[in-house]
């Protein structure tokens, strides 16, 4: 998502919240019966699978107000960091060196956000039921394999170094957002049912493999 889209979405969010406050104040002063049904959902502590479900059902008589905002926030951050393979290998008397590593790094992130509105108001009523769903997923895999091989006292300088690494880095991200409304109002009533949905996903993989060979006491100095 470019910066222009992000700015537009942020402006919509601010306008939506301001509208909610204005409408709540307006209808609260002009309509005799006010029902405030607020549902805020936020789940924390589940880094890989975030399920959020909200069901709102309210039924009021004529000339009444239902204010039912729902906000769902999902934030997932996962990182795999492997720096244990930065080794120092020493070869004496022309012994071969084997330093084959097998690294697998996987991040799986899934967010399910669902909102179901079923608010019914009679004639002359007002239903205000905005929904906001925001999901942010960030994942990173980092692997470094910076080795130093020291060849000690090998006059022939013929040392075989095996450094055939297998590195697998995977980021699997999925965000599902649903906001449904079956709300109904009677004659002369007002229904405000606005939805804002935003999902940001960022994933990166870094694999660094820089090796150095140092000869000591051999013709290769």
Helix residue ranges, H only, the chain:
3-30
How far apart CA 34 and CA 97 sit, in angstroms, is 78
How far apart CA 179 and CA 193 sit, in angstroms, is 10
How far apart CA 84 and CA 89 sit, in angstroms, is 14
User: What are the structure tokens assigned to 47, written together?
Assistant: 């880094």
Q: Characterize the bridge pairing of strands 102-121 and 39-42.
A: unpaired
Report pLDDT for 154. 80
The answer to whether 157 and 92 have CB atoms below 8 angstroms apart is no
pLDDT at 42 over 70: no
Report pLDDT for 134. 97
Report pLDDT for 206. 96
The answer to whether 50 and 73 have CB atoms below 8 angstroms apart is no
pLDDT at 34 over 70: no
Considering the domain boundaries, does residue 221 fall inside one? no
Report pLDDT for 58. 60
How far apart CA 122 and CA 64 sit, in angstroms, is 7
How far apart CA 110 and CA 76 sit, in angstroms, is 9
The answer to whether 69 and 134 have CB atoms below 8 angstroms apart is no
- Of 28-32, 127-131, 135-139, 198-202, the one with minimum mean pLDDT is 28-32
Nearest-CA neighbor of 28 among 37, 39, 36?
36
Specify the higher pLDDT residue, 180 or 6: 180
- Degrees, nearest 5: CA angle 192-199-172: 145
Report pLDDT for 88. 85
How many domains is the chain built from?
A: 1
Cβ within 8 Å of residue 174, ≥6 positions away: 109, 110, 111
Considering the domain boundaries, does residue 33 fall inside one? yes
The answer to whether 176 and 72 have CB atoms below 8 angstroms apart is no
List the domain range (segments joined by +) for residue 87: 3-216
What mean pLDDT, rounded, does the chain reach?
Answer: 78
pLDDT at 4 over 60: no
The answer to whether 69 and 20 have CB atoms below 8 angstroms apart is yes
How far apart CA 14 and CA 196 sit, in angstroms, is 11
Considering the domain boundaries, does residue 23 fall inside one? yes
Report pLDDT for 204. 97
Considering the domain boundaries, does residue 211 fall inside one? yes
Considering the domain boundaries, does residue 133 fall inside one? yes
pLDDT at 41 over 90: no
Nearest-CA neighbor of 71 among 46, 92, 95, 43?
43
Which pLDDT tens digit goes with each residue over 49-88? 667 776 555 655 667 888 999 999 999 999 999 987 677 8
| pLDDT confidence tier of residue 23, bands split at 50, 70 and 90 | very low
- Of 19-28, 29-38, 107-116, 148-157, the one with minimum mean pLDDT is 29-38
């Amino acid at each position: 998502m470019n910066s222009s889209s992000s700015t537009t979405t942020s402006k919509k969010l601010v306008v939506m919240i301001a509208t909610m406050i204005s409408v709540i104040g307006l209808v609260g002063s002009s309509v005799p019966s006010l029902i405030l049904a607020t549902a805020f959902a936020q789940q924390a502590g589940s880094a890989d699978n975030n399920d959020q479900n909200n069901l709102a059902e309210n039924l009021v008589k004529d000339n009444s107000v239902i204010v039912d905002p729902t906000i769902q926030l999902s934030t997932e951050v996962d990182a795999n960091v492997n720096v244990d393979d930065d080794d120092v290998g020493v070869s004496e008397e022309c012994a071969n060196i084997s330093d084959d590593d097998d690294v697998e790094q996987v991040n799986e992130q899934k967010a399910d956000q669902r909102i179901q509105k079923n608010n019914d108001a009679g004639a002359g009523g007002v239903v205000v039921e905005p929904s906001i769903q925001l999901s942010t997923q960030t994942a990173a895999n980092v692997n470094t394999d910076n080795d130093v091989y020291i060849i000690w006292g090998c006059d022939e300088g013929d040392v075989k170094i095996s450094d055939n690494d297998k590195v697998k880095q995977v980021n699997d991200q999925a965000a599902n957002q649903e906001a449904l409304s079956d709300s109904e109002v009677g004659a002369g009533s007002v229904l405000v049912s606005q939805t804002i949905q935003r999902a940001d996903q960022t994933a990166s993989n870094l694999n660094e493999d820089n090796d150095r060979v140092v000869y000591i006491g051999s013709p290769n100095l």
